[in-house]
Amino acid sequence: MEPVIKTDNLTIRFGGQIAVDHVSCEIPEKHFKSIIGPNGAGKTTFFNLLSGELKPTEGEVYLKGERITHLSSIERARKGLGRSFQITNVFPNLTVLENVRLAIQSREKIYFQMLRYFTSYKHLIEEAEHILEQVLLIDKKDAIASQLTHGEKRKLEIAMLLALDSEILLLDEPTAGMSLEEVPIILDVIRNIKEKGEKTILLIEHKMDLILDLSDSIMVLFNGQLLADGTPEEIMRNELVESAYLGGMYNDDLAGNQ
Amino acid sequence: MGKINLKSVYFWLIVLVFVLFPFVIDSRPMTILLTQIFIFAILAMSYDILLGYTGIVSFGHAMFFGFGAYATSVMLKNIDSSLTVFFLSIIVGMVIAGIVSFLIGLLTLRLQSHFFAMFTLAVSGLFLVLAEKWRSLTQGNDGFTFRAPEIFSDRINFYLFVLFCLVLVFLLLRLFVNSPFGKVLIAVKENETRTKALGYKTIYYKVVSSVVAGVAASLAGSLYVVSLRFVNTSMMAIDVTLNALLMTIIGGVGTLVGPIVGAAIIELAKHNLSILAKTYPIFERWIIFFGIIYILAVIFFPKGVVGTLKEKWEGRKMVRQQAMKQKEDAA
């Protein structure tokens, strides 16, 4: 079957620094792939290349067989590539509901309607409320986004991504900076999305133990290079990964989980 | 829904008060002052579409005001001072403003905001020089007088016409900012990269916003010269932009009522200060006082009069709701 996303020798250099170094990978449809790697391994840069925020120095990105390397992030978003940001990136002075509603409006392709009140699109508002229920934010719908806690902002971020209803979700460390109590909730939200089986998901995560049971496959980036790509079991047995990335501390964590 | 209806009842009540005003209080200076306020309210509202809704800082808004001003005065002088020519000249001014703002927007709105601000300043300076030098048409800084359409020789008729324009522009702009399109404008102001990531081509939104603002400003210019029956290059000077900026900021950025209130405050202050100037010469330098007001407003009322009131009102509503909730919880 044709992979949904394929990268071919994807490379980007910032001056002398090679942030992503000839990464080739394929992601089949409805697949859940996690990307792990230490700080500075190029995970987020790799995401930026996929979503179009950055243009590669070398190599290509394909979406369902179509070359999309030259497309802007906007065009890619419209083609079904939705991404969340590691640094929380919402509309700070709008209400939670309005944040989500804007995403739905984009998906519904209501771009240039300027002669009707937005409230006449009731179904958009209803759907936004429905999505907020899914991510357990519904009682905060009238709050201003900047007043949310960090965890709530992350949830909002995921809600906006869900609202776009993109085929492919790029999740950049959705649990980053969250309190321990909030992490399971986010993971539940992600698990729910996965279990519906409608989306291809790419997830960046720092803490490997969180995503072992969620992922269909895991790829490991190290110094910009693709170190390994395989099922969670394979990755855990991979000695190269162990020595390069996991180290003693992480090994203990994993041992506890097995 | 009941609340929205109440709001529009208040709105039409206020409109009615202003419609009846010149018939109840028969004061020519007051009528003229109110006419001026309405005209500047249109200008300030149009500026707020850029500043308050899309987050674009433009220093060239005066040129759109000037397009309307010159379109109307040149046509009224050289063709005929009839009502038809007047309406036609409004449309001509709007079309010119629309085309120029479209081109400028397309060329420069891709740039970062401060470059856009500088560019608009440069272009409006260019048009100011053009107006100075094209003496055969504009008579430069000396300007020229012309006859207004017959029907406007009665100040009350003109007052009512300007009021009608203000209400129309207000309603149209309110629809514009509350439409799905307008909601995206606010999103652009809040966080442009995020808006792009949602799949909106933000450049088009910014261009349309600058065209709408330019066209509305041109209407204000057309009305303004008819109220003076005179035009010169000061209509295009940077002062006009600064006035609009001041009115918007004092009234309240990001609301439509704000600029109207701001226009009223500034025009009334100017009027009263110039009366005071007759006894205390210091008030002739009223621009000093505006400078002080401006600084105080930015420090203490960054949201402007209307913005601050709105915030207080909503804050009180929140507290009341919370109190209600607590009561319910207790019970």
> Who wins on pLDDT, B280 or A105?
A105
pLDDT surpassing 60 at residue A204: yes
Cβ contact, residue pair B181, A114, below 8 Å: yes
Grouping H, G, I as helix, E, B as strand and the rest as coil, residue A81 is: strand
How many whole angstroms separate alpha carbon B220 and alpha carbon B41?
8
Model confidence at B10: pLDDT above 70: yes
Dist. CA A190–CA B104, nearest whole Å: 45
Question: How many angstroms separate the Cα of A239 from the Cα of each of A214, A221, B5?
Answer: 22, 14, 70
Structure-block tokens of residue A87: 């640094």
What's the gap between Cα A193 and its chain centre? 12
Name the residue in chain A with its Cα closest to that of B209. A114
Tell me which amino acid residue B4 is: I
In this model, does residue A187 exceed pLDDT 90? Answer: no
d(CA B58, CA A131): 38
- For all residues of chain B together, what is the average pLDDT? 86
Average pLDDT, stretch A217-229?
Answer: 86
Model confidence pLDDT, tens digit, residues B27-36: 888 889 999 9
What is the rounded average pLDDT of the residues B73-96? 91
**Nearest 10 degrees: Cα torsion B41, B44, B50, B54:** -60
Residue B317 in contact with partner chain A when CB distance is under 8 A: no
The confidence band for A257, taking pLDDT boundaries of 50, 70 and 90, is: very low
Residue with the bigger pLDDT between B276 and A200: it is: A200
Give start and end residues of each alpha helix (H) in A69-181.
73-78, 96-107, 122-134, 150-164
Q: Is the pLDDT of residue B92 over 60?
A: yes
Confidence at residue B161, expressed as pLDDT on a 0 to 100 scale: 92
Alpha-carbon distance of B189 to A106, in angstroms, equals 17
Q: Which residues of A touch B (CB under 8 A)?
A: 51, 73-74, 77-78, 83, 85, 89-94, 98, 101-103, 105-107, 110-119, 121, 160, 164
Q: What is the distance of C-alpha B267 from the center of its chain? A: 13
Which one-letter DSSP state was computed for residue B229? T
Per-residue pLDDT at B2 exceeds 50: no
Is B199 near chain A, with CB under 8 Å?
A: yes
Q: A86 falls in which pLDDT band (50, 70, 90)?
A: low
The fraction of chain B above a pLDDT of 90, given in percent, is 31
Tell me which fold the domain B31-300 belongs to. ABC transporter involved in vitamin B12 uptake, BtuC (1.10.3470)
B248-254 mean pLDDT: 87
B190:A91 CB<8 A: yes
Residue owning tokens 């960054």: B302
3-state class (DSSP) for residue A2 = coil
Q: Residues A77, B197: contact at Cβ < 8 Å?
A: yes
Q: Please report which confidence band the pLDDT of residue B1 belongs to, taking 50, 70 and 90 as the band edges.
A: very low
Q: How far is B179 from chain A (nearest CA, A)?
A: 4
The minimal CB distance from B198 to the residues A102, A116, A119 is found for A102
Q: Which residues of A209-227 are buried (b: 16+ CB within 10 A; e: fewer)?
A: ebbbebbebbbbbbebbbb
Chain mean pLDDT for chain A: 81
Q: Which of B282, B234, B248, B227 is nearest to B36 (CA)?
A: B227
pLDDT over 50 (residue A258): no
Amino acid at A203: L
Is residue A126 predicted with pLDDT exceeding 80?
yes
Q: Return the DSSP state at B268.
A: H
Chain A, nearest residue to B199 by Cα: A74
| Residue with the two structure tokens 């409004």 | B90
CA dihedral B40, B41, B45, B46 (to 10 degrees): -30
- Secondary structure letter of residue A113 according to DSSP: -
Expressed in percent and rounded to 5, the helix, strand and coil fractions of chain A are: 40, 25, 35
Q: Chain B residues with CB inside 8 Å of A102's CB?
A: 183-184, 187, 195, 198
Task: Give the nearest partner residue to B199 out of A74, A92, A98, using CB atoms.
Answer: A74
Beta bridge partners of A13: A18
Beta pairing partners, A168? A81, A200
Answer whether B193 touches A (CB < 8 Å): yes
DSSP B151: G
Q: Choose from A98, A101, A107, A112 for mutation: most chain B CBs within 10 A.
A: A112
**Rounded-to-integer distance, Cα B303 and Cα B228, Å:** 32
pLDDT value at residue A251: 42
Sequence letter at residue B244: A
Q: Higher confidence at residue A87 or residue B257? A: B257
pLDDT band at B286 (very low <50, low <70, confident <90, very high): confident
Residues of A in contact with B204 (CB under 8 A): 112
pLDDT tier at B3, thresholds 50, 70, 90: low
pLDDT given at position B138: 81
Q: What is the pLDDT of residue B331?
A: 63
Using DSSP's 3-state secondary structure scheme, residue A217 falls into strand
Q: How far is residue A107's CA from residue B155's CA, in Å, rounded to a whole number?
A: 51
Tell me the H-state helices in B134-256. Answer: 135-138, 155-178, 180-190, 192-197, 202-228, 238-251
**CB distance B180–A83 less than 8 Å?**
no
Boundaries of every domain in chain B: 31-300, 306-331
Give the chain B residue nearest A146 (alpha carbons): B190
Handedness of CA A175, A177, A178, A183 (dihedral sign): positive
In this predicted structure, the answer to whether residue A16 has a pLDDT above a threshold of 60 is yes
Chain A residues whose CB is inside 8 A of the B194 CB are 89-91
Nearest CA to A101 out of A14, A162, A58 is that of A162
